[in-house]
Structure 1
Amino acid sequence: MHSQGAVLPVLTYLFHRLEDRFDGRPTLLMLDEAWVYLDNPLFAARIREWLKVLRKKNVSVIFATQSLADITGSSIAPAIIESCPQRIFLPNDRAVEPQARAAYERFGLNERQIELVARATPKRHYYLQSRRGNRLFELGLGPIALALCGASDPAAQTLIDNILSEEGRGSFAARFFSARGLDWAAELLQQFPQPNKEQSS
């Protein structure tokens, strides 16, 4: 937020709105870009409290961050590390560097596990750390699913915007697959009727 004066009332309002929804039904509270929340002492304190009590209200909390340092450098790092029994680490070729290694070690990874994270293939491998054990796994996505689910980098987003502005939604998938080197998938799409086109009988 640009106005620091607005932070306290807005966060207080958000806390109340969120807590009103925690009524015992299974709930997933996703905190993406966790540094945004951990950077604010008020929100950090509330997260610490939530981690202690939300499990009783059937709420699971997911923290997502680009950098482990966002969490390890936080004042509530011990509470987060202790209260998040399952962690999924994405590939990071810089994990073996001293500063990054220290962050991974704080999460309980040993030298071999850090090496696995460093050597893993981006957008394909994931390292699961849990009380039941640790494992490097992959989702087993085929080329089509990977092209669609992995289209999160700026170049892919620009490509998507360009195709939509030039072609619209009607032929988006075929154009997108061709641009990603999946001409065979684009050709397969031609065998199926287009949903936006009226079929003449």
Structure 2
Amino acid sequence: RVERVIEDRKPTIIVIDEAWKALDNAYFAERLSNWLVTARKQNAVVVMMTQYASQLERTRTGKTIVEAVPTQVLLPNIRASAADYAMLGLTEKELDVLLGVGSASRLALVRDDRGSVVIDADLSALGPLVTILGGMEKGEALVGADYRERPDFWRVT
């Protein structure tokens, strides 16, 4: 189903939570590798999430995937260590940001091949819209089950 949407060039965001599990599945890892190469050309992006970067290192294709991802958004984790980020090749300053600020700070490190920048990722100004971003029952209750038929569903009054 995902591949049909991509082939139709419909704007698409493919979100993969707990990416380390998906990358350990041979069939899915092959699909994901293909998406990373072709998705941008077909009006799609792939977002992969995992709690610890070190989880990727233990997968079959984690190293290849990390090398193929042009932009990384990393959130601070006070329970992590420098070793947890080893495969990402972070600079000392980047590590200081991720290990030195509490996760409550709402800062994030965004990096690509040109460098990195620290951003304020505090979404509290969105008010109830943050619930929509979280999805699930709470988000659907806020916008209604028919949100797919209403392109302006996010305009909560």
1:126 paired to 2:111: no
Tell me the amino acid that sits aligned with residue 5 of structure 2. R
2:72 matched to which residue of 1?
Answer: 87
Q: TM-score, normalised by structure 2?
A: 0.70
Percent identity between the aligned chains? 31
Tell me the amino acid that sits aligned with residue 90 of structure 2. L
Instruction: Give 1:34-183 correspondences, 5 Å limit.
Output: 34-95=19-80, 97=81, 101-123=82-104, 124-141=106-123, 149=130
Preserved CA contact (<8 Å) 1:51 1:79: no
How large is the RMSD of aligned CA atoms in angstroms? 2.7
Tell me the amino acid that sits aligned with residue 107 of structure 2. H
Tell me the amino acid that sits aligned with residue 88 of structure 2. F
Query: Which structure 1 residue ranges, 5 or more long, are not aligned?
Result: 1-16, 151-159, 161-168, 170-194, 196-201
1:19 paired to 2:3: yes
Preserved CA contact (<8 Å) 2:110 2:116: yes
Distance in 2, Cα, partners of 1:64 & 1:146: 23
Preserved CA contact (<8 Å) 1:120 1:126: no
Alpha-carbon spacing, 1:25–1:146, altered in 2? closer, same or farther (3 Å):
closer
Please report how far the alpha carbon of residue 146 of structure 1 lies from its aligned counterpart in structure 2 after TM superposition.
Answer: 7.6
Query: Which structure 2 residue ranges, 5 or more long, are not aligned?
Result: 132-137, 143-156
Tell me the amino acid that sits aligned with residue 79 of structure 2. R
Distance in 2, Cα, partners of 1:140 & 1:42: 36
Alpha-carbon spacing, 1:148–1:18, altered in 2? closer, same or farther (3 Å):
closer
Tell me the amino acid that sits aligned with residue 28 of structure 1. I
